[in-house]
Structure 1
Amino acid sequence: MSETKVFLLPDLGEGLTEAELVNWLVAVGDEIRVDQPIAEVETAKSMVEVPSPYAGTVAELHGEPGQTLDVGKPLISVTPVGGSMAQQPAEVTAETYREEEKAGSGNVLIGYGTPGGTATVRRTRPRRTLSLVEPAETKTVETGTQPKLTTAADDLLLKRTRVPGKLGAVISPLVRRMAKEHGVDLGHVQGSGESGLIMRRDVEAAINAPAVEPGETPARPLVEPAETSTPNVDSRTGLGIVSRTPVRGVRKAVAANMSRSRSEIPEATAWVDVDATALVELRAELKKKDGHNTPGLLAFIARFVTAGLKKYPELNTRIVTAEDTSGGEQQEIVAFDGVNLGFAAQTDRGLMVPSVRNADKLSARELDAEIRRLTAVARDGKATPAELGSGTFTLNNYGVFGVDGSAAIINYPEVAILGVGRIIDRPWVVNGELAVRKVTELTLTFDHRVCDGGTAGGFLRYVAYAMENPGALLADL
Structure 2
Amino acid sequence: MTVKTFLLPDLGEGLTEAELVRWMVAAGDIVAVDQPIAEVETAKSLVEIPCPYEGVVSTLHGEAGQMMLVDEPFISVNTGGEEAAAAPESNGERAQSYREEELAGTQVPAGHAAQDSEEDEGSGNVLIGYGTGSAQRKTSRRRKPRVMGAGDSVAVQEAREAVRVINPLVRKLARENSLDISSVKGSGPQGLILRSDVEAALARPVQEPSASASLALGSPQASTATAAKTGQAAAVGDKDSRTGLPVASSELLAGVRKTIANAMSTSRREIPEATVWVDVDVTKLLKLRSKIKEAEGQAPSVMALISRFAVAGLQRFPELNSRIEVESDGSLRHTLFEGVNLGFAAQTERGLVVPNVRGAHKLNAQELSAEFARLASVARDGKAGVADLSGSTFTINNYGVFNVDGSAAIINYPEAAILGLGRIIDKPWVVNGRLKVRSICELTLSFDHRVCDGGTAAGFLRYVADAMTDPKRALATL
TM-score bracket for the superposition, by shorter chain length: 0.7 to 0.9
Number of paired residues?
396
Amino acid across the alignment from 2:295: K
Moved more, 253-262 or 223-232: 223-232
**Structure 2 partner of 1:144:** 153
**Structure 1 partner of 2:457:** 456
Query: TM-score scaled to structure 1, two decimals?
Result: 0.75
Residue 263 of structure 1, aligned match among 265, 269, 278:
269
Report the Cα offset of residue 241 of structure 1.
Answer: 2.7
Report the Cα offset of residue 211 of structure 1.
Answer: 4.7
**Structure 1 partner of 2:101:** none
> In 2, Cα distance between the equivalents of 1:129 and 1:6?
17
Contact (CA 8 Å) 1:95, 1:129: kept in 2 or not? no
Amino acid across the alignment from 2:44: K
> In 2, Cα distance between the equivalents of 1:391 and 1:226?
38
**Structure 2 partner of 1:386:** 387
Report the Cα offset of residue 76 of structure 1.
Answer: 1.3
Segments of structure 1 that go 5 or more residues without pairing to the other structure are 105-120, 132-138, 149-177, 191-204
**Structure 1 partner of 2:43:** 44
Q: Any idea what SS the aligned residue of 1:369 has?
A: helix
Q: Say yes or no: does 1:296 pair with 2:296.
A: no
Q: Select the structure of larger CA radius of gyration.
A: 2
Change in 2 beyond 3 A, CA 1:214/1:302 = closer
Report the Cα offset of residue 130 of structure 1.
Answer: 4.5
**Structure 2 partner of 1:129:** 136
**Structure 2 partner of 1:5:** 4
Change in 2 beyond 3 A, CA 1:245/1:225 = closer
**Structure 1 partner of 2:225:** 222
Amino acid across the alignment from 2:321: N
Moved more, 308-317 or 223-232: 223-232
Q: Say yes or no: does 1:98 pair with 2:114.
A: no
> In 2, Cα distance between the equivalents of 1:91 and 1:127?
6
**Structure 1 partner of 2:21:** 22
Contact (CA 8 Å) 1:94, 1:130: kept in 2 or not? no
Q: Any idea what SS the aligned residue of 1:446 has?
A: strand
Change in 2 beyond 3 A, CA 1:222/1:79 = same
> In 2, Cα distance between the equivalents of 1:284 and 1:415?
34
Q: Say yes or no: does 1:67 pair with 2:66.
A: yes
For the aligned residues, what is the CA RMSD? 3.5
Amino acid across the alignment from 2:53: Y
Contact (CA 8 Å) 2:45, 2:386: kept in 1 or not? yes
**Structure 2 partner of 1:80:** 79
Query: TM-score scaled to structure 2, two decimals?
Result: 0.75
Segments of structure 2 that go 5 or more residues without pairing to the other structure are 85-117, 139-144, 187-200, 208-223
1:90-137 CA-to-partner distances (Å, cap 9, x unmatched) read 9645774539x43x8xxxxxxxxxxxxxxxx8x9xx994358xxxxxx
**Structure 2 partner of 1:311:** 316
Change in 2 beyond 3 A, CA 1:230/1:409 = closer
Alignment of 1:417-456 (within 5 A): 417-456=418-457
Amino acid across the alignment from 2:319: E
Contact (CA 8 Å) 2:6, 2:122: kept in 1 or not? no
Amino acid across the alignment from 1:431: N
Larger fraction in helix: 2
> In 2, Cα distance between the equivalents of 1:127 and 1:72?
10
Identity %: 53
Residue 245 of structure 2, aligned match among 221, 224, 239:
239
Contact (CA 8 Å) 1:95, 1:130: kept in 2 or not? no
Alignment of 1:335-354 (within 5 A): 335-354=336-355
Q: Any idea what SS the aligned residue of 2:19 has?
A: strand
1:364-397 CA-to-partner distances (Å, cap 9, x unmatched) read 0111111111111111111111111111111000
Report the Cα offset of residue 240 of structure 1.
Answer: 2.9
Report the Cα offset of residue 183 of structure 1.
Answer: 7.0
